Amino acid sequence: MINVLILSLTLIFFSLSILGYGLLFNNKFFKLDLNTGEHGLIGFFILYLISVFFNFFISINIFFSLTILSLGLIFFFIFFF
């Protein structure tokens, strides 16, 4: 039962982080009226570019990943509400 709760919270955390980066990029550069799926695709693409860029300079470990995802969650709460 606790595993289902942890899995659900992790999925929500990852999803909101990806949407946060999509909302950030859309509000700063595009300023288009997009739906949630398009924000998610943009956010996933931005996170992919961030990970490829930083992979050349530092190793991507759990602390770096949690920092990037936490920033995405903060961006979600700033730009969604």
Rounded mean pLDDT for each run of 10 residues along the chain, 81 residues in total:
95 96 92 89 95 92 95 94 81
What's the chain's Rg over C-alpha atoms? 13
pLDDT for 31: 83
Q: Which two tokens mark 9?
A: 């919270």
Question: Domain total for the chain?
Answer: 1
Q: Which of 81, 64, 79 is nearest to 22 (CA)?
A: 79
pLDDT for 33: 86
Task: For residue range 42-65, list pLDDT tens digits in order.
Answer: 999 999 999 999 999 998 999 999
Look up the domain containing 27 and give its range: 2-80
CB atoms within 10 A of CB 54: 13
Q: What 3-state class would DSSP assign to 44?
A: helix
pLDDT for 34: 85
